Amino acid sequence: MTRLHDLFASEGQSPWLDNIRRGWLTSGELAGWVDRGVRGLTSNPSIFQKAIQGSAEYDDQFRESIVSGLDLEASYWELVTSDISAALGILRPVYDGSDGLDGYVSVEVDPGLARDAAGTESAARDLDTRLNAPNLYIKIPATAEGLAPIRQMVAEKRSINVTLIFSLDRYAEVMEAYISGLEAAEGDLSDISSVASFFISRVDVEVDRRLDEIDRPEARALLGKAAIANGKLAYHLFQQTFAGPRWEALVGRGARVQRPLWASTSTKNPAYPDTLYVDELIGPDTVNTLPDNTLEAFEDRGTVARTIDVDVNGARATIAGLAALGIHMDEVTQKLEDEGVSAFEKSFDELLGVLGEKAAQFR
């Protein structure tokens, strides 16, 4: 039994892999991760950019797509959906064995639609219909424009991974979109599943940068504290939201909670422990999606213990301390949301540029 198995069995947290490569699908490496305790997989435009741009494994399929007359963007989605379909098959036994709790594979809609509600809704519906698997999550960014499509997709009984959540206020809006979507859905709700991807390490990167500029003892004392504090408060908000008469009425129809998923959990600052954003955010009804190197680190030296609701008052004090220094989380998180949307869009555009160069050679 590995630490990853223990993480789920003893603390109720599901470890997922935050990466995908075609070689892992064909070589058995992803299946090996599943055997070691990985219970799901997430992808995003940046992950696919690295996988496709950094490997010749996709060239044959891409050449066939171009020769058949598909344009660049359609060819890109052929590559992506092929990988996602293969991953769905590998994770399907986890889905079946967990009664639909885990075993999900996430794929994101075109990042260029993040500020386009109608476009996001249409793309999410089309992608879900195209892949047509019970253990598929369609990723929709948690922008203001993404809230209505999230609600609509849930009302249509489509399973959604809401991504790029940084702020507690936006997280509250995401949970409301999920719950109101469930209320609008007809009949039994047990086949609807969702996670809310709350981003962690990037918060420390931005807040630490601002603290370094202040360079006072009280600022230095808060270095590396903001991201964990933000996550703990998000979990507290989750516990408050999925309770009470309104929620219990949905449970009576088979509804499942929308689990918090800790994303961006690799440590960006080498001065911090490489398992920091795993060790400090462990608790029931949560998911942590980790890049493969962070999974390896946690397997080797991580600590399995419930930490997510330890010292919540201390988390509040951390956020208050930052505000006293002029660092306001609403400003930080809005900046991070904007940067996250731009980064995924840039990855998508850069990859299309590289594919365009390859297409010219193939033609």
By the 10 Å C-beta count (0-12 exposed, 13-18 middle, 19+ buried), 28 is classed as exposed
Average of pLDDT values for 38-49? 94
Residues 273-313 pLDDT 10s:
999 999 999 999 999 999 999 999 999 999 999 999 999 99
Average of pLDDT values for 306-328? 98
Residues 45-64 pLDDT 10s:
899 998 988 788 999 998 99
Q: Where are the domains of the chain?
A: 3-362
Cα 29 to Cα 95, 109, 117, 279, 355, distances in angstroms:
19, 26, 37, 25, 26
139 is catalytic: yes
Mean pLDDT of the chain: 96
**Residue 105 phi, psi (nearest 5):** -125, 130
Q: Is the pLDDT of residue 354 over 90?
A: no
Q: Is the pLDDT of residue 362 over 80?
A: no
Whole-angstrom distance between the N-terminal and C-terminal Cα of the chain? Answer: 51
Taking the C-alpha atoms of residue 141 and residue 300, their distance in angstroms, rounded to an integer, is 33
Going by pLDDT thresholds of 50, 70 and 90, the confidence category of residue 363 is low
Residues 205-249 pLDDT 10s:
999 999 999 989 999 999 999 999 999 999 999 999 999 999 999
Going by pLDDT thresholds of 50, 70 and 90, the confidence category of residue 360 is confident
Q: At what angle do helices 3-11 and 292-301 cross, to 10 degrees?
A: 80
What was the pLDDT predicted at 215? 84
Residues 99-123 pLDDT 10s:
999 999 999 999 999 999 999 999 9
Q: Where are the alpha helices (DSSP H) in 36-167?
A: 45-53, 59-67, 72-97, 117-131, 147-155
Q: Is pLDDT larger for residue 193 or for residue 49?
A: 193
Active-site pick, 50, 139, 157, 346: 139
Taking domain 3-362, whether its CATH number is 3.20.20.70 is answered by yes
Residue with tokens 């009576």: 252
What pTM does this model have? 0.96
**Residue 199 phi, psi (nearest 5):** -85, 140
